[in-house]
Amino acid sequence: MEEGAGVIQVLMILHALLGVGLLGAVTHQAVSVGRSGGLAKRTMVDRYRGVHAPAFVVTVMVLFVLTSLAGGLLYPRYRIDVRTTLEDLQLRAANGLFEIKEHFAAVGLGVLPAYWLSWQAPLTAEYAATRKYLTWLLAFVVWWNFLVGEVLNNIKGLFP
Amino acid sequence: MTRYARFNTFAILYGVVYFFCFYYNWAVFRYYPVLEGFRLQSQPPATAGPAILWYAWLAQALVITLGLTLLVPRRVAARLGPTAAWLGPVLVVVGILVYERRWFY
């Protein structure tokens, strides 16, 4: 095995696991924050949306930072191995998807302080829109980055 | 909330500063995976391989935004209001998508 390949594999798995946790937490919160009215019907969807959304804030923040950190550590290997392969295969769009992924990670890191502020108790009406849209923005960024990461990770299988 | 109004200022400015850094390809340092090290000067690709600028963009955005955020008086930061805290980053995301569409043609 090539030197350092084991570390990269562990980091890849860790990055993916952190991403899954982040995806679950932020999606739960994003669905919950969009909720309007009571929960008269106790369907599975109602129960999914009926979580205590503020409880996810610290989890989302910590997972976002850790996932970005793991991604940052993997970046050099990506730049040498994956990106050059994409360029050889002339998959410009795949490169573009990754460019957007890295920018979105940066934007996500930048909004974390305001996101935290908007969820501080007591939840005020003044910050309701900020709370909702920042959570949705983070959810969008996390979904994009997760899906792009998965596509790029499996790109040789997807585009043989 | 007024006490933390600067958090909103940070959220608004960080994305904008980051956008300008990558739009103008401005990086005070670069990481070269082949050389396994940071360099202040651009290195020849033939020997140094590709450079990563993303670390510099993140660091520059953080430092510049922190400085700007501290320069903005708390009274002015409070007047920016919570709407700008989400609208600013959303516009940056839109700007990124518009700019990076060049990869898809």
Candidates B30, B93, B100, B101, partner chain A, best to mutate (most A CBs within 10 A) = B93
Residues of A within 8 A of B54 (CB-CB) are: 72, 75, 102, 106
List CB contacts (< 8 A) between B10 and chain A.
110, 113-114
- What pTM value is reported for the model? 0.91
ipTM of model: 0.92
Residues of chain B with pLDDT under 50: none
DSSP letter at B2?
G
| Per-residue model confidence as pLDDT tens digits over A64-106 | 999 999 999 999 999 998 888 888 888 899 999 999 999 999 9
A88's tokens: 């050889």
Answer whether A127 sits within 8 Å of B82, measured CB to CB.
yes
Q: What is the pLDDT of residue A39?
A: 55
Summarize pLDDT for A101-160 with one digit per residue, the tens.
Answer: 999 999 999 999 999 999 988 888 888 899 999 999 999 999 999 999 998 888 777 766
Local structure of A91: helix, strand or coil: coil
Whether A110 sits inside 8 A of B93 (CB atoms) is: no
Alpha-carbon distance of A152 to A94, in angstroms, equals 7
What is the C-alpha to C-alpha distance for residues B45 and B43, in angstroms, rounded to an integer? 6
Instruction: Tell me how close the Cα of A37 comes to any Cα of chain B, in angstroms.
Output: 23
Best B54, B55, B63, B79 residue to mutate vs chain A (most A CBs within 10 Å): B54
| pLDDT tens-place string over residues A24-76 | 999 999 999 877 655 566 787 777 777 787 889 999 999 999 999 999 999 99
Hey, is the C-beta of B86 within 8 angstroms of any chain A C-beta?
Answer: yes
* Secondary structure, 3-state, B43-101: CCHHHHCCCECHHHHHHHHHHHHHHHHHHCCHHHHHHHHHHHHHHHHHHHHHHHHHHHH
Number of H helices, E strands in chain A: 7, 0
